[in-house]
Structure 1
Amino acid sequence: DTTPPTWAGGYPQAGTVTNTSAQVLVQTNESGKGYYVVVPHGATAPTAAQVKAGQDGSGSDAGSGKKGYVDLTANTPATIDITGLAPSTDYDVYMVTEDGVPNLQATAAKVDIATSAAPDTTPPTWAGGYPQAGTVTNTSAQVRVQTNESGKGYYVVVPHGATAPTAAQVKAGQDGSGSDAGSGKKGYVDLTANTPATIDITGLAPSTDYDVYVVTEDGVPNLQATAEKVDIATSAAPDTTPPTWAGGYPQAGTVTNTSAQVLVQTNESGKGYYVVVPHGATAPTAAQVKAGQDASGSNAGSGKKGYVDLTANTPATIDITGLTPSTDYDVYVVTEDGVPNLQATAAKVDIATSATPTFTVTFNSQGGSAVSNITNVNSGSTISAPAVPAKEGYTFSG
């Protein structure tokens, strides 16, 4: 036998290739050996004798892992396993077969191999300034995150100063003791490389400090070794309570025949609104009082509506004018703070104006006159009289 073996159709061919290894599949028509050498892609092709000797095209030793042989059985596939390759690298694998005589093939066959990239074993890193606190309210907070790789950003929320959880605990939604962080206090967001994302946290307590631990992981997955902490301080709960009247307020002050005062005092600064309606009229709502309307929604009219500015715990006076003498009124007042929180119900103050002032002039038959029967005239008041008072003349005999 002087004829060397021949490769079966389609052989040799590349098999499984990784980042550091490759397989070459071979099959011949005779039993014998299959020799190989691995050289850089594009290097000078070795001769069949050089391949058998484990040499490259220059006659140098191909090196450990880059040469060898497999035993072949006629018409039976066999696999050459090559290891120690560099990731992301192209190689030429030269193979030649020889039967047991031995008859060696005249020329080596070439198979191209391209190893894959090395596996990613590096976790993502935070972009400069991230993670950072975003918008924080009295019951919620945002944490802004951005990394150099796509993946996930995990978080847990713990009381300020609590033991820091590990990266694995953060991913598992646990605090530093390994306990579940609780609903709303754990979770994750999907991350796109070099793109900001927002973690939304709800269910927080007002006026409370928290530590938010965040950790990121890529798709491999490679998890960061240590969680990063972001400090959060929620604001106070919003004021939803309207002011209250101080004891004894509102109350009637000085009342004349055409005017009245209502004295007011509340526990908060704000405004005190009022409307004046006929006594016994339907009570307006608080909103109607604020709008200067009666219970029908009609404008209360000039002098019958308005407001005064209020300072917390400080008495103030509402001055009402243009009233009718000898008339009963209901004055409805309501207060509102600066938020604004308006009282739900208006308070009523009863007002009764006095009668119009009168006095009587009497004349003495012997001459002179006197003023008597003075009503509704305050001491010290100035009384207006007609410029030319009416008079009657009387004649007495004797």
Structure 2
Amino acid sequence: MPSLCRATRSLPAVVVATTLLVSGCGADGDDGGGLPTAPGGAAADDSVAGMLALLPPMDDDEIGIVTVSRWHAAAEAYGVPVPPAGADRDAVLDYLVALSTGDGGLAPASALLDLRTAASASTQEEFGFAPQAVAADVSAGLPPQVVSAARGDFDVDAIGEATRSGPVAVDVEEVEVGGVPVLRWREDHETDFDQVTALSPIGSAGRLGLPDEETLLYATDDDGIEALADAARGGESLADDEDLAAVAGALDAEDVLAAQLTPRPEGSDLTYEAVGIGLAWDGAARVVLAWSTDSGSDAQALASSVEELVTSGESVATGRPWADLLGDPDVRVDGSLVTAVLTLEGAPGRWATFLLQRENLF
């Protein structure tokens, strides 16, 4: 693997809601389609569970909402071509908009792919990787300690060259963190509004890690990138959280294209340990919810509460009956895990607002 020059040398939230994805053009060697192949020929894991494994462990009060977007999986599901390497910005924006608005429904997951900067900045030009090269991205944590990661097809040399000559060139240094080459600029959480970038509309400090050609890591402080590097090298990760892992597995079993996961929010009326919501597609949008509980009896009680809510309860945010928003409920119990699959009425992107608004489903 090409490596950056050496010297040596928590945690992200997701914000979410209506804006989306980023900029740019193409990366060398990216034919614009499919999941990247990891060393040894195995496909890099862009599942929800696989993306959890890229993030470091966190305490429940640090996690916020874990957000995952699986761009290439969504493109395949919707029949939207992934632009080839070298595609112009309009083609890339058309691709991102098709996946995120209208019938798309994907929500922004990390600063590595953010439509808010797409009109004015290009990750291809400034940091050497194209947005369409990102197969999936994930973030978690609470500002300012945000950590993010992406799976895709990345040219390490091109990323180093672009970053050294781009808007952070005056501050960037090449270091190594836990065996991972890292491009580092500015001190922890520092901002410079005169040097906004495609990764930060406020010119934040950055730590861009490149453990291999299928993975990008991103944080705004040294502790964050150190924790990401450790997870990327096989250390402990969020995937080792049994409840989050159980929820991720349930979402993956329904082939969700995007997901949000979190420990039980304080003040919830429901009894469980972790919850997740995801968007799936089988010709129409489906919402998948999964809760991990402490016991089979808790799961049975929760399933009854959920079924009653979605059939006769109301949304806290809108006051509308859940039956007007979510249809055909299929609520299942498997040991201590509860899963609900429902059709989604209206715009597919609505799914991403439910957890953020702390609806009574959570």
With a CA cutoff of 8 Å and minimum separation of 6, indicate the structure with the bigger relative contact order: 2
Name the larger-Rg structure: 1
Please tell me the TM-score bracket, short chain as reference. under 0.3
TM-score (norm 1): 0.18
TM-score (norm 2): 0.19
Q: Which has the higher helix share?
A: 2
